[in-house]
Chains A and B, each alone.
Chain A
Amino acid sequence: MKFIKNSGLLICIAGFAFFVGSIFIGDHNVTPEKFNDWVNSKGIKSEIFIKNAEQEIVGKTFSSIQLSSTIIELAEKSTQEHQDNIQLWQNSGGQDEKINEEWSKVIWTSWSSTHKDFTYPLLQATINSPVKENQWLAFFLTFGLAIIGGLLYIIPDFILLGPAGIKNNKLFQHSATNRGWGGIVTAVFFVVFYFLLYFFPDLIINPILTTNKISLSLSGNPASQWFMYGLIYCSVMTVFAVKMYIKYRHNLYQIIRTTVVLFFQVAFAFLIPELLVRFNQPWYDFKNAWPLNYTFFFDWNINSLLNSGHLGMFMLVWGIVLTVIVVPVMVYFLGKRWYCSWVCGCGGLAETLGDPYRHLSNKSLKAWKFERYIIHLVLLFAVVMTGATLYSYFSGATSILGIDTYSIQSWYGFWIGSIFAGVIGTGFYPILGNRAWCRFGCPLAAYLGLVQRFKSRFRITTNGGQCISCGNCSTYCEMGIDVRSYAQKGQNIVRSSCVGCGVCSAVCPRGVLKLENAPEDGRIIDNPILVGKDEIKLQV
């Protein structure tokens, strides 16, 4: 068993090594046709750039990094010249027309968008590599090995961990799960991955290509970095769901919850949208509710839905109904868990890949205070941004109160959508625990939380006086809720942040906690004196 486990680990590492290694192989040969296609598709007007690029790039062979940085260098150089011209003409009182034309030639660059928007298409079109030649083989050597190895590593636990039950042995003694070097290495790997994915997809063309065949067979389009990410997401969740199944095989709540959240990810966030694209419909994730789905009301999205006939119209209406009616009504009956740990993709990853890190959440009162400020600020920001977007959409004005709507959107998209949700939220799993985004940043969680706190049947019932204050519940609460502080006082846990993962109840060695939906009456218990004390009951 041990042998199978260790071989699994090696195979899995090999898969990752191929995946990462593929970044460094192959080269780019920029033919004149491909170059022209790219120039046209990007609408590049700078003759300076085009001329220089034709000299320096076309017909030559580069590595990805060389090509990408050369293009950006040339772009910056041309931009400099155009700006100098503009300066010159402005000083000499030149004609506006000419100046405007010159402005349109400027190629704006920034590290966070140029790679993904500007250089990526050219690099993608020009790659020559063994991966490109052998896409199925490449898929097997990367995804295939990683998945097979991962499963071989995980499945022996069925025997190795002994009879079914809570097995958290050594979590706080192992470097990978206790912020040791193992955890730090993992975090660095995650963070680098997210930076490449979000901001430098032009440097990971080969990894993206490993998923190309799958993409072609699903949507008919070549794989993008987002397709690759979706496939990674689903694969990782599936492998770690198997881990959950083994770890919690005695706990049907966990098994069903894991299955459902995995289903929603694979079907709703991955397969259905890709198939929609195949049938020329908009890419649409039916479960992704605003304001987590912050681009829902962006003009390009609304327009695309409006241009997609009945189905598009339905999607638009459904998106609104989901947020305005479905979400709060379901939270009333079931608690926010129905979304956060049963449906949501972020939650799904946190509950599978993130499960080994759940105990790293910060339980201090300080963290709770910080949480309440920041998450509601993000919600407020999301609402304001969407308000401004809709205002611009209907009024046609591009700015509101002097602030450009587009820059609000890109600020949010960069800081909240990418850095907070991705880099910090997932990248820092091994440091901050698995729900840092859900707890501190997700505007939808904030909205659901308000409903859950003030109008819901959901609570975690504390079983009378049975709590021994051991602290397992608080330690394993991924949301950093100090569950024990309620349980030891005999109070029910009614907290806006609780995602109803059910793990506090699972790890409690005394059977003290039960997640349940019951009448609102008596949901919140304030009586600090416990059962078994007849005499003091009068005196609260």
Chain B
Amino acid sequence: MEHIVIIGNGVSGITTARHIRKNSDKRITVISGETDHFFSRTALMYVYMGHMKFEHTKPYEDWFWKKNRIDLVRGFVQKINPDNKTLELTGGDSIGYDKLVLAVGSKPNKFGWPGQDLDAVQGLYSYQDLESMEKYSPSTKRAVIVGGGLIGVEMAEMFLSRGIDVTFLVREDRFWGGVLPKQEGELISRHIKKHHVDLRFNTELQEILADENGRARAIITKEGEEIECQFVGLTAGVSPNIDFIKNGKIETNRGILVNEFLETNVPDIYALGDCAEFHQHPTGRRNLEQVWYTGRMMGETLAQTICDNKTPYRPGMWFNSAKFFDIEYQTYGWVYSELKSNENEFYWEHENGEICLHLVFDKTSNALLGINTFGIRMRHEVCEKWITTGKDMNHIMEHLKDANFDPEFYKQYENQIVNQYNQQNGTTLKAKKRDWKRIFVKN
């Protein structure tokens, strides 16, 4: 029986394993150095804040793996020998494979800051990171978080839930400036400040100072300001966790290089998820996409290929979502931080400054290209249909209510939005009533 070995029990590795099991009887082994069982990394913050216990982050009960004949091995792979198809684990064990799947994920970026390896200086990625945050929290009065992205804001929320003050250093002039357009960046910045985070724009870390025990006691910014703190969170992005693969036979760049079938240059070795980088993304998206959904979709695809139904990766329209304190964010298609030359935009913001809808469309055809929404939930299928079939803005405005996914009785803003659109464009569109038939029609 063919033996499939998967390194990494994150969403990519586990999705692959589950779908291989669905489609075949192959022997499956999953190796991870992090935890015994698959858990949802995205929920680490909720464990810290007491919304959940760690066990709740596990999407499958512990008996699931045995029942589905997925063997779990706890250990770190330190070397891959493609020539005789074996893996070496720290501790000396070795495991043979017929096909190898690399789903080793990422690690937090460190940019060579002086003091970055002190105690109480860390990112938030792994279960172990969570444990060490727990360890340092009781003795932390102020934490400095470096890097204004999604994990940074999660970390800020975590500390605030324990009454720990947070100073948040952001290199750009607004929160998540590399991704969010100005309007949304400012909206979220306001919200973060409302939660009493000391948010500093255009501020970069220079160095971290140690106390006599080798623990962070303060940071110095590039401007020379010293900020006293007992914890430094490094959340300036992540990069593929591939040190043990580099300089071997497997070709790497920032990540492990793969083609559209998620094959590496070495036969029978595949890579996917956070650690995989496309030579050329099969549908022209970014070559390295480190999010939950892509890991899952790649896993579903790769399982097909491994089960002899060779399938190229076609992720379809880009989508993502996040939550910044109390404001939910969803995005469909592409809304870049700056408009491209062929793009035009429509932006509506509620007078409370916490809800907005940002549509980007093609200048000439008026076809919708991307949606950002804050504080309004939108229906994935409807947005996808609009964007993939290139519906124009008039159509979008008239059918906006179909896309609303907020809970029942929520105040709806479509009429306001369409009014503003009419005013700005001299049109006389009206938002049609929501129609189940349109929403659920299969195409």
Return the chain A residue nearest B409 by Cβ: A252
Among B51, B53, B316, the most chain A Cβ lie within 10 Å of the Cβ of B51
Interface assignment of B317: CB less than 8 Å from any CB of chain A = yes
* Proximity string of chain A (151-179) to chain B, C-beta cutoff 8 Å, 1 when within and 0 when not: 00000000000111110111111100000
Inter-chain contact B50/A510, CB cutoff 8 Å:
no
Among residues of A, the one whose C-beta sits closest to the C-beta of B49 is A169
Assess whether B32 is interfacial by the CB under 8 Å rule: no
**A253, A256, A475: the one within 8 Å of B51 (CB):** A475
Residue A464 is within 8 A (CB to CB) of chain B in the complex: yes
Measured between beta carbons, the chain A residues less than 8 angstroms from B111 are none
Question: A237 near B: Cβ within 8 Å?
Answer: no
A533 and B407 contacting across the interface, CB-CB below 8 Å? no
Known contacts A464-B319, A471-B59, A533-B301; A253 and B409 CB within 8 A of each other: yes
Q: Name the interface residues of B98-120: CB closer than 8 Å to any CB of A.
A: none
Let me know if B51 and A172 touch, CB within 8 A: yes
- Total chain B interface residues with beta-carbon distance under 8 A: 60
Chain A 16-40 against B: per-residue CB contact (8 Å), 1 yes, 0 no? Answer: 0000000000000000000000000
Q: Shortest Cβ distance from B39 into chain A, in angstroms?
A: 9
CB distance from B224 to the nearest CB of A (A): 33
Q: Does A174 lie within 8 Å of B56, measured CB to CB?
A: no
B325 at the interface (CB under 8 A from A): yes
Contact of A536 with B by CB under 8 A: yes
Residues facing A in B48-74 (CB within 8 A) are 49-53, 56-59, 61
B50 near A509: Cβ-Cβ < 8 Å: no
B59, B300, B304, B384: the one within 8 Å of A485 (CB): B59
Q: Is B293 an interface residue (CB 8 A)?
A: yes
- What is the bound-complex CA distance between A165 and B328, given in angstroms? 10
Instruction: Closest A residue to B318 by CB, please name it.
Output: A532
Interface residue tally on A, bucketed by range = 35 or more
Q: Which of B122-130, B227-235, B373-381 contacts A (4 or more CB under 8 A)?
A: B373-381
B380 and A463 contacting across the interface, CB-CB below 8 Å: yes
A458-478 at interface with B (beta carbon < 8 Å): 461, 463-466, 468-472, 474-475
Nearest to B196 among chain A residues (CB) is A162
Of the candidates A166, A250, A535, the one whose C-beta lies within 8 Å of that of B311 is A535
Residue of B nearest to A488 (CB): B59
**B359 within 8 A of partner (CB):** no
**B238-292 contacts to A (CB < 8 Å):** 292
Interface status of A514 (Cβ within 8 A of chain B)? yes
Q: Are A170 and B384 in contact (CB under 8 A)?
A: no
Interface residues of A in 514-535 (CB under 8 A from B): 514-516, 518-519, 521-522, 528-535
Give the chain A neighbours of B49 by CB distance below 8 A.
168-170
Contact with A along B395-439 (1 / 0, CB 8 A): 000000000011111110000000000000000000000001101
Pair B440/A519 contact, Cβ less than 8 Å:
yes
Does B135 count as interface, using CB distance less than 8 angstroms? no
Report the separation of the CA atoms of residues A190 and B167 in the bound assembly, to the nearest whole angstrom. Answer: 45
A-B contacts, CB under 8 A, total: 169
* Nearest opposing residue in chain B for A522, CB measure: B440
- Does A110 interact with chain B (Cβ within 8 Å)? no
B residues in contact with A119, CB < 8 Å:
none
Those of B323-365 within 8 Å (CB) of chain A: 323, 325-326, 328, 330
Bound form: Cα–Cα A165–B440 in Å: 31
Q: With an 8 A cutoff between CB atoms, is B78 at the interface?
A: no
**B409 and A521 form a contact (CB under 8 A):** no
Contact B328 A509 (CB under 8 A): yes
- Contacting pair B379 A530 (CB below 8 A): no
Hey, which chain A residues are within 8 Å of B437, CB to CB?
A: 519
**How many angstroms from the CA of A533 to the CA of B301 in the assembled complex?**
8
* Chain A residue, CB-CB nearest to B442: A522
Interface string of A240-256 (1 = CB under 8 A from B): 00000000001111001
Is there a chain A Cβ closer than 8 Å to B11's Cβ? yes
Contact indicator B43/A471 (Cβ below 8 Å):
yes
Please tell me if A8 contacts chain B, counting CB pairs below 8 Å: no
Q: Are A463 and B50 within 8 A (Cβ)?
A: no
Partner of A170, one of B50, B56, B59: B50
Quick check: is B22 within 8 A (CB to CB) of the other chain? yes
Residue of B nearest to A474 (CB): B56
Evaluate whether A514 and B377 lie within 8 angstroms (CB atoms) in the complex, with A170-B50, A171-B50 already known.
yes
Q: Is B202 interfacial (CB 8 A cutoff)?
A: no
Interface pair B381/A471, CB less than 8 Å apart: no
Asked whether B46 is an interface residue with its Cβ less than 8 Å from the other chain, the reply is: yes
B residues near A, CB below 8 A? 11, 22, 40, 42-43, 46, 49-53, 56-59, 61, 161, 194-195, 292-293, 296-297, 300-301, 304, 309, 311-317, 319, 321-323, 325-326, 328, 330, 377-381, 384, 405-411, 436-437, 439-440, 442
**A–B Cβ pairs within 8 angstroms, 14 of them:** A166-B326, A172-B51, A252-B407, A365-B61, A463-B405, A465-B296, A465-B297, A470-B46, A488-B59, A502-B408, A509-B328, A511-B330, A519-B436, A532-B293
Known: A522-B442, A531-B381. 15 other contacts (CB 8 A): A163-B194, A169-B161, A170-B161, A251-B410, A469-B40, A502-B408, A511-B321, A511-B328, A528-B22, A529-B300, A531-B380, A533-B297, A534-B316, A535-B312, A535-B313
The list of the 6 closest CB pairs from A to B, nearest first, reads A464-B380, A165-B326, A511-B377, A470-B43, A532-B316, A173-B50
Question: Which residues does A use to contact B, with CB under 8 Å?
Answer: 162-166, 168-174, 250-253, 256, 359, 363-365, 461, 463-466, 468-472, 474-475, 484-485, 488, 502, 505-507, 509-511, 514-516, 518-519, 521-522, 528-536, 539
